[in-house]
Each structure stands twice: as C-alpha cells, then as structure tokens.
Amino acid sequence: MPPSPASWVDIGAATSPSFSKDGTRVFHLRGAGLPQVWVMDRDGTNAHALSAHDEKVAFLRRSPTDDRLIWGIDAGGDERQQFWLLDGTPPPRALTDAPAAMHDFGAWSPDGTRVAYAANDRDESQFDVLVMNLSTGETTRVLQAGGQRAVGSWNPKSDLITVVEDHSTSDQRLWIVDLTTNTALELQRPGPTRYASIRWTSDGAALMGLTDHGGADFMRLCRIDSETGEATPVFAPAYRDVEAWSLSPDGTLLATIENDRGYSVLRVGVTGTERELVAGLLHGVAADLAWSPDSGTLAFSAQSPTTPPGLWIWSTTTHAAELLFQPTPPDDLIDFTLVEWKGHDGTTIPGWFARPTTPAPTAGIPAVVWVHGGPASQTRPNYRADMQLLLSHGYAVLMPNIRGSTGYGRIAMESDDVEKRPDCLEDLAAGHAWLVAQPGIDPARIGIMGQSYGGWVVLAAITLQPELWRAAIDYYGIADFVTLLEHTGPWRRDHRAREYGFPGTDDALFQKISPIHHVDRVTAPLLVLHGDRDPRVPMEESDQFSRALEQRQKKVRYEKFTYAGHGFIRPDHRRRVYAALVEHFGKYL
C-alpha cells in the first residue's frame, strides 16, 4: 500500500542559515508547512525554536553587530508581510503593524541601529522606501516611488543604499539612494537589464551583483561602478546563470552557485582564481550561502528529489560538503532524470521524468504532466512531496520547462512574451508526444496539473488541446487575462501586463488564449483549488471557470480554501490538497 496523502505533509525542511556573531551557533528556518525561527550549535546539537507563530516565517536576517534577528510573517498567505524583532531572548516584538500593507525587508544599517525596507502603505500600487530607527520605532519615508521597488544593501561606509525597480520580469533598474539628502540616482544601462543580489563591496567603493548588463544572455557576477553603472564580469560561466554568490568576511574566498540545466554547481575558492567544485554536494539544488564570521565555514541549504531541504557546511579544513541537519525523508523516494524533446520550431524543451516502482498495469502506466508557474520560473531537481505522492500511487511524472522558463538565458525567457504566448502550448503537445513514446506509458491515461501561470497552461490545454488530456487539476490558474489584470494586486498590474499584454491593445490575443472563451471544448474532468486570500490570481478566476463548466454540465470539482493565499502551506490545507489530488486522478486516470 502507498503512504497515505496525509503522511507527506509532516516532512520538514531547513533553510536560510545564518551564523551567530561569534560563530558558535546557526540560526535558521525549520519546520513543515509553517517554518519557524530556530537556532542550534555549530555542530548541529542543542536545537530549539525561537518563534512560535501560527504563520509561515518568510525570511530571517541577523544584525551585523550582534545576534538580534528580524523576520517576517504575513496573514494566511496574503503576502502583506509584517516585521518582527528578537532582541535577546523570546518573545519577539512586532516592528510593523499595518496589516493592509506589504513590507519588503531590505537591509540593516552597518551599525545595527536602523533598517531600510520598501512598503506600499501610502499607496497600494506603489512601494516607497522607508528607514526605521529600531530604538524609537520612528520611520522616515526617504523615497516615494512607483511600481515594485526593493531595497538591496546598505553601504558599509556611508548612508547610501541600493534599490532595484522591478519594471518587468526581464527588466530591472538599479538606483542609489542617498539617505542624507533623500535623493536617488538611476545607474545607466544600455538596454533592458536584469539585476539580482546587488551588494556593496567591503570598502563601499563599488557594487557587486548578478546582472546581464551589456546584452549578455546569462546572468554573470559583476563588479558594478556605483556612479556610471558600468559592469565588469568577475565570474561568467558559459551558458549558465550565476544565481547566488557570497564573499567571505575577510574578502579572500568567493562562493558561487551556477545553474547547470537546473542542477546547482557550487564553487568555493580564493577570489580571482579558478575555484574548485565543492565535493559531496547533493545532485540537486543548493541555495542560502552564509559565511561564518571567521571566514572558515560556509553554510548553505541543499535538496534533491529524494532529499528534503537540509543544512550543509563547507569548511577550509575539509573542502567538501558535510551534512549539518537533515529532516528525515521517507523511504523509497524516486529520483528524476533530466530529459528533452524538440518543440514545433526545433527549440529544445527540457524536463524532468520519473517512473513509479510499483508494478505496471497491463494497459500501461498512467502519467501526469506538471507545469510550473511564473512563467519566469524553472522546474528543478528539488524535493517535491506532491510529485513523490503521485509516484507512490503508480503514476509516471513529467515536469517540462516550456519556453518562457528561466535558467536557459534571456532569449529563452522572453520567447513566450505577449503574442508568442501560444507557442508554449506547442511545447506542451510535443512533450505529450514524447511521453506517449516512452516504453510502458498508457497513451490514453495522461493527465495534467499546474499552479498559477501553470494553472493557466492546464486550462488552456484542456480547452485548446482537449484530445490530449484525460483529467486535469488547476491550482489557482488564470481563466481570463482581462479579468486577471483588472483584479490582481494593483502593484502587479503593469508588471504582469508587460509579460502578458495590455487590455485595449492585446484584446484579440486575450480572446484567443483566455480559457474562459473556449470552455465548451472541455472534455477532461477538472479539479480546481484556490485560496480566498490570493493576492496574485484572485479567486474570481477559478469562480468563473468552474461556474462556466457547471452551467454546461461538465465534470468539475471546486475546492475553496479559507485563509489561504497563492499556495497551500498550512498543514490542514495540504492534507486536503493531497487527498483531493489522489482521489481525482485515481477516479479519472
């Protein structure tokens, strides 16, 4: 008998390590569904929780001068995050109390007395930059800004901070804000440019960060002139994004993570040299680089399809990855294999494929195609309880990275923008054909599921390719691009429209690709799941599509979740989701 759906909910994770000021302890996030702030000794012993919220802790940042901690929680996944400060021993105290506003943490001041962050408390559609005095709680609004802006880092030698304006998925603008004069300087760039992980150098004279400045296809680690914006590559592996970097406190060692077709490659070594690959790393995904104060140890999180997220360390003594803490995984988890096929125009489409170990039915193995959200995202070889659940119940699983996915360069990421949107469905059809051609797969029993943008792919697939799909599951997907852009959070509208198209300009495209206009063609039984606090894809998207199916007497089951946002993180919600998933595909596949 396969494990029950509920048994997959309690498998935990550990992420976001940060050493204490003296290097003897490691703060981190730990838990299943609703992770909390924990601390343990450097050797992994004496672990205990420092927070006890009935909400997910979303981030954790330690003061540069001591062991004070700031973290953030929202309310039921509504993304309206509030900050909490732990100054010594629990309990923590709230730093912000504006539940209708979103607060995006940015940086501590070098002396630990202030923090800079972005918030949309003045106007829901705009993120201003604010500075808070932690002793008095007084805030100063230093920049009133439009759109989505986030604070990056604080200059260690002066009151300058970096701010990134997220204009679109493929275009960010980098600003330097002077907190003494409340003025902002936009750094020059030759065209649309991506920026990530921008931090000041230790002498405060320049910036370092990830960017494709200058027309590069992939993200490189660059030194950036803080006056001219000119970017000079420091590390630029061929045909791979650099997705994380960290310099040791003494400035001698550089750690980088690059994305090799989804797999993480971690390098550590002396800056300016050919740095060695870290031995013993899981064949999966690594993140959350954090150095110890003495520059002798690097902590990070790592996971794989068969290993839940855990904490690992690399040291100048061993030069290899060693496990610090690992949640206990279930037995007999199944690894995924990297595969690929050709799209209709010859584009190579990668994906991840796994087969169940249970005996195959006489007619062949049923299969499920899972499509990621975004679309600027990437399915990677990380731990997925829901995919392992499907495998344990006898389904093969294919997870494609259709065009528009990240990790394959700017050109690939932009290949589905606006009028090119329908091409991703051709990639999906080609993936279906690849799956049918695999030995032992039952071509008559192939289902599809996806979340957010991937939920749109599901609804588009069952309306525009109804002959391919036997059953479907939609997690908070887009039914109508016009109503999505009308009702999504106002801070997101223009940002999303630059990806999808603008109402009034792209109405013909929206008519073509919005599933609500083709609902008569649906033949696959559909399970729809949506949370009532979703700020990204409003519940009306699922309401209208389910209502249209019911009016046409088509098979649809609509599960609504109270106190859930853009995703199902609470343990009771995940139990319902997993049970419904197994029941729906068990009945129709």
* Res. 356 pLDDT band, cuts 50 70 90: very high
pLDDT at 58: 97
pLDDT at 2: 77
DSSP class of residue 229 equals: -
Interior angle at CA 582, CA 581 and CA 588, nearest 5:
90
Q: For the chain, report the end-to-end CA distance as a whole number of angstroms.
A: 18
* Res. 88 pLDDT band, cuts 50 70 90: confident
Cα-flanking dihedrals φ and ψ of residue 428, to 5°? Answer: -65, -45
**Rounded Cα gap, residues 525 and 405, in angstroms:** 28
Structure confidence by residue, pLDDT tens digits, 438-485: 999 999 999 999 999 999 999 999 999 999 999 999 999 999 999 999
Q: Where are the domains of the chain?
A: 337-588
DSSP class of residue 565 equals: B
**Rounded Cα gap, residues 29 and 83, in angstroms:** 15
Q: Which helix (H) or strand (E) holds 497?
A: helix 493-500
Mean pLDDT over 383-408 rounds to 97
Mean pLDDT over 513-542 rounds to 98
Whether the Cβ atoms of residue 180 and residue 165 lie closer than 8 Å to each other: no
* Res. 147 pLDDT band, cuts 50 70 90: confident
Please state the separation of Cα 522 from the chain's center in Å: 31
Strands (DSSP E) found in 261-374: 263-270, 276-277, 285-291, 297-304, 307-315, 322-325, 337-342, 348-354, 365-371
* Architecture of the 337-588 domain: 3-Layer(aba) Sandwich (3.40)
* Res. 286 pLDDT band, cuts 50 70 90: very high
pTM (2 d.p.)? 0.96
* Res. 265 pLDDT band, cuts 50 70 90: very high
pLDDT at 576: 97
pLDDT at 374: 94
Structure confidence by residue, pLDDT tens digits, 335-348: 999 999 999 899 99
Q: Is the pLDDT of residue 21 over 90?
A: yes
* Res. 1 pLDDT band, cuts 50 70 90: confident
pLDDT at 126: 94
Whether the Cβ atoms of residue 361 and residue 550 lie closer than 8 Å to each other: no
Please state the separation of Cα 208 from the chain's center in Å: 22
Mean pLDDT over 356-367 rounds to 94
pLDDT at 376: 93
pLDDT at 5: 82
pLDDT at 250: 95
Mean pLDDT over 385-393 rounds to 97
Structure tokens at 403: 């065009």
* Res. 495 pLDDT band, cuts 50 70 90: very high
pLDDT at 333: 96
Q: Is the pLDDT of residue 367 over 90?
A: yes
Mean pLDDT over 3-31 rounds to 94
* Res. 563 pLDDT band, cuts 50 70 90: very high
pLDDT at 303: 98
pLDDT at 329: 86
Q: Is the peptide bond before 350 cis (omega within 30 degrees of 0)?
A: no
Structure confidence by residue, pLDDT tens digits, 192-245: 999 999 999 999 999 999 999 999 999 999 999 999 999 999 999 999 999 999
Q: Choose the weakest-confidence range: 120-124, 326-330, 363-367.
A: 326-330
Q: Chain-wide mean pLDDT for the chain?
A: 96
> Could you tell me which of 73, 69, 131 has the C-alpha nearest to residue 102?
73
